[in-house]
Homo-oligomer: A and B are copies of this chain.
Amino acid sequence: MVRTPLTPEEHERGERLGAILREARGDRTMAEVAFAAGVSAETLRKIETGRAPTPAFFTVVALAAALGLSTDAIASAAAAAPLREPLSA
């Protein structure tokens, strides 16, 4: 095996990451946030829906900047248990 397939835990972590980003997006459109972050809307949609569970580092950084979030907060929130409260901005 050369590259280990993503584990179920990693998929769940990706789902939490997507939920955090979607929560922070609020009522803005995917296209707007994606354009602000410099990624395609499809990519943002895949990340939000958890279908891209381990996006690139700078992709998350750009999205965090576009959403006004801290990457540390995103990382800890996605890695740890699901949040009861959104990362209030």
Contacts and interface: CB of A to CB of B under 8 A. Distances in A.
Interface stretch (A22-30, A71-79, A81-89): A71-79
Oligomeric state, in number of copies?
A: 2
A73 to B, nearest CB: 9
Interface residues of A, number: 17
Interface in A13-63: 13, 17, 54-61
Nearest to A69: B72
A17 B44 CA distance: 23
A66 to B, nearest CB: 13
Contacts of A75: 57-58, 61, 71
Interface of A: 10, 13, 17, 54-61, 70-72, 75, 78-79
